[in-house]
């Protein structure tokens, strides 16, 4: 069943991811299940054990996304795909120099999609820039608020506060992979942002263009259910952006990470003022 975004909907569908864009399964209606581990070794009912939330609260990993084979996706095997390491320690730390350079390009108000534990939202709040983080993980939202930032537990594909008025959208830490369809995600963000807004996205460090099925997994083998994900390098991100109505402004590398600044392909917004151009400063 589709939800109108072009992405198939399901109770476990991740709509904000890495970090905090990682899926958190909702509790089932009625009495809580108490079954714990399933008959398949290592599988944990996600409403009882959430490796991502546990790692965020601890402030460290190891935590991985496991790339699944088709057989594993059908739950017939544990899966033998690659382990993609998640940078929990960096996400839970303070914004570093590379992050701050990205934030210096923001023009408020800022929407941080998949805010995770809130290092970017917290840094923007400290700068006096209006910012809201959205995430599907309650643990991520709680940690963001603890840093002094504003955060809301919500899917990016649901209606958001300030629809059509966000000056900058942040899509960092691999969150371009949310939902497994970068074009659909970028189109959704174009609708949520203000005319002439900018989007700051982090691309994969590798030159890849993958649509994956993955699952969260910790060092003890506890894991959640499979979900769709995407990994795109700079070239693939720019191709997706063009299809979604975003124009490239700049691309750069810093600290081994790759970034792209995009601008809505709007020359004359509805208010009659030209779309902003060039690098911004904080209001």
Helix (H/G/I), strand (E/B), else coil: 11: coil
- Condensed to tens digits (0 to 9), the pLDDT of residues 195-241 reads 999 999 999 999 999 999 998 899 988 887 888 999 999 999 999 99
Residue 216 lies in a domain: yes
Residue 17 lies in a domain: no
Structure tokens that stand for 105 in this block? 């390009």
Task: Look up the CATH number of the domain holding residue 60.
Answer: 3.40.50.150
- Selected residue with higher pLDDT from 217 and 49: 217
Domain that holds residue 182: 51-264
β-bridge pairing 193-203 and 63-67: unpaired
243-251 mean pLDDT: 97
113-125 mean pLDDT: 97
Residue 33 lies in a domain: no
Query: pTM for this one?
Result: 0.75
Question: How many domains does the chain divide into?
Answer: 1
Q: Is the pLDDT of residue 146 over 90?
A: yes
- What is the per-residue pLDDT for 73? 41
DSSP-derived letter for residue 180 is G
Residue 71 lies in a domain: yes
Q: Is the pLDDT of residue 99 over 50?
A: yes
248-276 mean pLDDT: 76
Place of tokens 């590379």: 98
Residue 188 lies in a domain: yes
Contact present, 136 and 153 (Cβ < 8 Å): yes
């Amino acid at each position: 069943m589709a939800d109108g975004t072009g992405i198939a909907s399901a109770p476990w569908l991740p709509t904000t991811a890495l970090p905090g864009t990682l899926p958190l399964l909702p509790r089932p209606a009625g009495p809580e299940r108490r079954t714990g581990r399933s008959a398949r070794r290592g599988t944990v009912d996600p409403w009882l054990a959430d490796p991502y939330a546990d790692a965020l609260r601890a402030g460290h990993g190891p935590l991985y996304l496991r790339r699944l084979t088709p057989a594993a996706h059908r739950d017939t095997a544990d899966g033998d795909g690659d382990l993609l390491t998640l940078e929990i320690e960096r996400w839970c730390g303070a914004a570093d120099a590379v992050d701050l350079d990205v934030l210096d390009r923001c023009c408020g108000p800022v929407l941080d999609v998949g805010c995770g534990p809130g290092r970017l939202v917290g840094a923007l709040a400290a700068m006096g820039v209006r910012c809201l983080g959205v995430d599907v993980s309650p643990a991520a939202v709680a940690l963001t608020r603890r840093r002094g930032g504003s955060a809301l537990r919500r899917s990016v594909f649901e209606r958001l506060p300030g629809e059509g008025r966000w000056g900058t959208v942040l899509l960092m830490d691999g969150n371009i992979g949310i939902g497994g369809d970068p074009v659909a995600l970028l189109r959704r963000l174009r609708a949520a942002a203000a005319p002439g807004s900018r989007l700051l996205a982090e691309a994969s460090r590798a030159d890849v263009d993958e649509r994956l099925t993955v699952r969260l997994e910790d060092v003890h083998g506890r894991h959640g259910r499979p979900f769709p994900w995407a990994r795109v390098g700079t070239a693939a991100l720019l191709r997706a952006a063009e299809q979604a109505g975003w124009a490239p402004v700049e691309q750069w590398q810093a600290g081994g990470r790759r970034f792209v600044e995009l601008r809505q392909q709007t020359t004359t917004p509805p208010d009659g003022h030209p779309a902003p151009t060039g690098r911004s400063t904080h209001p």
